[in-house]
Structure 1
Amino acid sequence: MYLLDALRGRKRVLVKENERIVALHKGELLGIYGPGEHALPNRRHSLETFRHDIGSAVFASPFEKVLFDKLPEVAARHLTQFRTARAEIAVIERDGQIHTVLAPDAKLTVWTDAGPWAVTRVDTSADLRVDPDLLRRLALATKAGLVTAATVPEGHAGLLFVDGIHVETLTPGVYGFWKAGRSAAVKVIDLKRQSLDVTGQEVLTRDRVTIRINLAAEYRVADPALAVSAVKDFADSLYRALQFAFRKTLGVLSLDQILEKKVTVDEEAAAKVKADMAAIGVEVIDIALKDVILPGEMREILNQVVAAEKQAEANVIRRREETNATRSLLNTAKVMAENPVMLRLKELEALETIAGKVERLTIHNGTGGLLNEIVRLRDE
């Protein structure tokens, strides 16, 4: 048989079950041949064969276009071709599993027998969003190369920008957007209460004393779209608003007024800051003037003043107590002068106190006078 084939100018080619061959005779395309043994023309060794393993699924050959142009029936029998439009994404599945994702204006040719094949087409001209179920499948299959994924945590809002234009505000969740000729980006904004500290701000008071102040503010983003579009950085805007408002407010006050009316100054400055930030979608909940830091020499002077004031107050209190004690002694003396019995009782109290502290006590005057007075009082 092989001798007869050689005489006839043929060559037998064996194709395995998992193979396909593309054959050319004298440079012209003969076709695609499947499993089995094939006798192909080979005069003067003019036969060329190109083996393909259909396990790789994708048909990659320089003769692809020629096959579809010259032998469309053969190409249709062995090959499946997928094409996408300018605003279209194709999710190609092989035997129920995602095989690849085809970008817009793209083409993919696969071996039909490597299937079964299925395709899901997505029109991205109206919406770039990826279906949540499909997004999970793409992530599990590691085929999310044409997807921009974004996660919006709880307590946050996501601002979706398509080609730089804000189109939607996203609630918490996981989102995916196709990369299909247009750019999609998600800016995540924290909606929870946040704190901002402004420390070490120098202010010149009306009496030309340079002080440093520390501020603290609590705020939340009420309108994320406005907060992002109105200013470049709303947190930086709040920082500067606090600086300007407090410098302007404290600059017209003397040092004594600032130290005495700290709460009032805080309220006056807060009203201006809250109004300015509300205009850009940020709600300022609370503002506090935490610390007023004085220069070293001024702090020493104020400490001396405070010490002198406290000393003066202590002297006043001491004199008041001394006066009260003297007045009490005077009243006691008057009572004793008018009542000799009371005087003798005080003497006994003193003797009792002394007797408790010594071993022997000798009384020269005696207590007869006191006892006689007590008896006389009883008789009366």
Structure 2
Amino acid sequence: MTTFLDLIRGRKRLLAKENERILALYQGRLLGLFGPGEIALPSRGGMLETHVFDIGQGRFLSPYEKPLFDRLPAVAARHLTAFRTGRDETAVIERDGQIFAVLKPDSRLTVWTDAGPWAATVVDIQAVPRVAPALLKRLVLAGKTEGIAVAAVAEGWVGLLTIDGVLAETLPPGVHGFWNAGRTVTVKQVETRRQSLDIAGQEVLTRDRVTIRINLTAEYRVTDPVTAVIAVKDFADSLYRALQLAFRKTLGALSLDQILERKVSLDAEAAEGVTAEMAALGVEVIDIALKDVILPGEMREILNQVVAAEKQAEANVIRRREETNATRALLNTARVMAENPVMLRLKELEALETIAGKVERLTVHNGTGGLLNDLVRLRDE
């Protein structure tokens, strides 16, 4: 009966569930938003148009959003909530205590009121460019970091924050977030721990025109990150080149023999200028060392021959000196024996004792009296 009467009257009945809303138009004009429950709408000539929405999705997306707010503001206010941000604002939209969306500047978001409760946190990103740590953690966990520049600075590093090409501040270790909507936010990280720099195979021409290769090493750390980044394009490259030039200048003024003789002291001579130059760039040079001096193959052979000849000459001198000392000692011994016959006899006995220990049988002939008579005479004397 109801269906027949609705058909006669030109009406159509629709049912909206608790999670649904129906947007109806008749003859191209908005009738309103309806639900939940059963509704009867005019439908003569098939001029009724309906759109069913699931409010569980939260967001209201429809080409009729503006006409609905303009022509039926009371209906729109009853079912919908609109959030809007200004030119220098961003907004964090929360649904039932959970982050739902992040609005960029000059943006609008319309949601179903009954899908809430809803809350919005509006931030002036010009006055407060940094994202609060607690909010940043929630945004990262929710995966809503599209409009945020996130930088994690490790221990032993510092971060240099630049906003639209202007250095803003120095960031300590930790996780930092900044609103980057409508601006360019970059964070350059600089290591402040002690670092090493090696220069291998650097060729140098000495004063006596010998080409050598040297290996250098340097220990340094950044003491002023701002100066180190702004003053030069790459402070590590600047240190590399400063070491190259300093040792070329120092070693080029010396002969090969002087370089080999003063290898240890050359570090301090070359380091003085490099240390002062890098200090002006915010870099402390802790230590500079000349590790290796590598000679060409033929020069190395010649040098080895020279060293061998010098050592041989030194050995000959020592040998002659020892021979002289030994001869002098023999001469002194002979003089003592000539002046003291008893001492001569004792030496003879020592020689006989040594010989007797090496043979099984020994016969001694010492004149007509023999050795024992001489021993007795020696005892009587």
TM (normalized to structure 2)? 0.97
Q: Distance in 2 between matches of 1:59 and 1:273?
A: 66
The 8 Å contact of residues 88 and 180 in structure 1, kept in 2 or not, is answered as no
Q: Cα deviations across residues 186-232 of structure 1 (Å, max 9, x unaligned)?
A: 11100011111111111111111111111111111111000000000
Match of 1:375 in 2: 379
Q: Distance in 2 between matches of 1:370 and 1:194?
A: 87
For the aligned residue pairs, the C-alpha RMSD in angstroms reads 1.1
Q: Distance in 1 between matches of 2:161 and 2:287?
A: 30
Superposition pairs for residues 270-289 of structure 1, below 5 Å? 270-289=271-290
Q: Distance in 2 between matches of 1:271 and 1:114?
A: 72
Match of 1:256 in 2: 257
Offset at residue 356 of structure 1 (A): 1.5
Match of 2:36 in 1: 35
Q: Cα deviations across residues 281-338 of structure 1 (Å, max 9, x unaligned)?
A: 1111111111111111111111111111000000000111111111111111112112
Match of 2:363 in 1: 362
Superposition pairs for residues 331-346 of structure 1, below 5 Å? 331-346=332-347
Stretches of structure 2 that go unaligned for 5 or more consecutive residues are none
Superposition pairs for residues 163-312 of structure 1, below 5 Å? 163-312=164-313
Aligned length: 377
Q: Distance in 1 between matches of 2:210 and 2:104?
A: 68
Q: Distance in 1 between matches of 2:359 and 2:325?
A: 33
Helix, strand or coil at the partner of 2:170: strand
The amino acid of 2:120's aligned partner reads V
Stretches of structure 1 that go unaligned for 5 or more consecutive residues are none
The 8 Å contact of residues 103 and 180 in structure 1, kept in 2 or not, is answered as yes
Q: Distance in 2 between matches of 1:375 and 1:277?
A: 90
Q: Distance in 2 between matches of 1:363 and 1:254?
A: 70
Q: Cα deviations across residues 24-63 of structure 1 (Å, max 9, x unaligned)?
A: 1111100000110011111122211100011111111111
Match of 2:149 in 1: 148
Identity %: 72
The 8 Å contact of residues 132 and 175 in structure 1, kept in 2 or not, is answered as yes
Structure 1 residue ranges, 4+ long, deviating more than 4 angstroms after superposition: none
Q: Distance in 2 between matches of 1:348 and 1:165?
A: 103
The 8 Å contact of residues 215 and 292 in structure 2, kept in 1 or not, is answered as yes
Distance 1:31 1:307, change over 3 A: same
Q: Distance in 1 between matches of 2:345 and 2:377?
A: 9
Match of 2:21 in 1: 20
TM (normalized to structure 1)? 0.97
Match of 1:90 in 2: 91
The amino acid of 1:128's aligned partner reads P
Q: Which region of structure 1 is more displaced relative to structure 2, 32-41 or 341-350? A: 341-350
The amino acid of 1:361's aligned partner reads L
Match of 2:69 in 1: 68
